[in-house]
Amino acid sequence: MVTMLRVDDRLLHGQVAFSWINQTNPDAILIANDGVINDEITKLAIKMAKPAGVKMAIKSLKDGIDLINNPKTNNMKIFVVVKNTDDALKVVQEIEGIKMLNIGGASNKKEGGKMILKGIYMTAKDIENIRKLIPLVETIDTRVVPSDSCKNIEEFI
């Protein structure tokens, strides 16, 4: 069971590893992104950020989806982190029952993104993906950390 799906362009780092993991209390963390698979430095940084006592897997998007859809993980609480809204849309479309999507660190300034909320920049493609995601999940949470106030993303896109 996916406890939360988070979009964060930095994947796993201090804010996620401690604040969100404490908030969601998962059995495992899944980092699902095609680009990170062959990036040994990023994988090392992610492994260093992993909190003790929580299992973690770093997978391609397809392999991550297959892992969650495997009946062996049905009783596990899994916190999933993807790098962008393209990956989030694919995950939500291919995994049943994802109720909460958190848009966290999304700083697409380099790709022409505009700031919609503090720490959250979106391109036209991101906004298109969010509009597709709105009917597919119960909640789209727009907090960078759990202590931030949550705003309705529909008001900003």
**Which residues are known catalytic residues?**
13
Nearest residue to 64 (alpha-carbon basis) of 14, 2, 13, 128: 2
**Is 20 within 8 Å of 146 (Cβ atoms)?**
yes
Query: What is the DSSP code (8-state) at residue 29?
Result: E
The rounded distance, in Å, linking the Cα atoms of 79 and 63 is: 15
Count of CB atoms situated within 10 Å of the CB of 127:
17
